[in-house]
Amino acid sequence: MAGERIRLRNITVYGSHGVTAAEREVGRPFEVDVELRADLSAAAETDDLGATVDYAAICELVKRVNEAGPYLLLEAFAGRIAKEVVDSFPVDEVTVRVRKPHPPVGAIVGAAEVEITRSRRKG
């Protein structure tokens, strides 16, 4: 099970997240990756959606958390997604990456990215 993962890459949402008032007023696209670590053996054997994590449900969660903003920090946005995934889905661990393409930081930067990993508490 250690290597069993589901990855959803570049879930794109439009949000008004950022520290500056201009970022919050204008908004921009944000890219979100969600990587789940879970036991996928039952799904692999049965070909049953009920035995795995529904990708569409994860995308809906990302959209809902985005719409609950705005967030000043990418850390807060990514952390909220990670917490809700661990609280809501049968996963052992989740890694969330949130990217802000071309952030206004006074230099040409392709993207700013935050990565947060959360694990289900055992016991």
Between CA 83 and CA 103 the distance in angstroms is: 25
User: Which residue of the set 63, 83, 100, 122 is catalytic?
Assistant: 100
Question: Which 3-state string (H, E, C) describes the chain?
Answer: CCCCEEEEEEEEEEECCCCCHHHHHHCEEEEEEEEEECCCHHHHHHCCHHHCCCHHHHHHHHHHHHHCCCCCCHHHHHHHHHHHHHHHCCCCEEEEEEEEECCCCCCCCCEEEEEEEEECCCC
Q: Known catalytic residue: 100? A: yes
For the chain, how many residues are written? 123
Catalytic machinery residues? 100
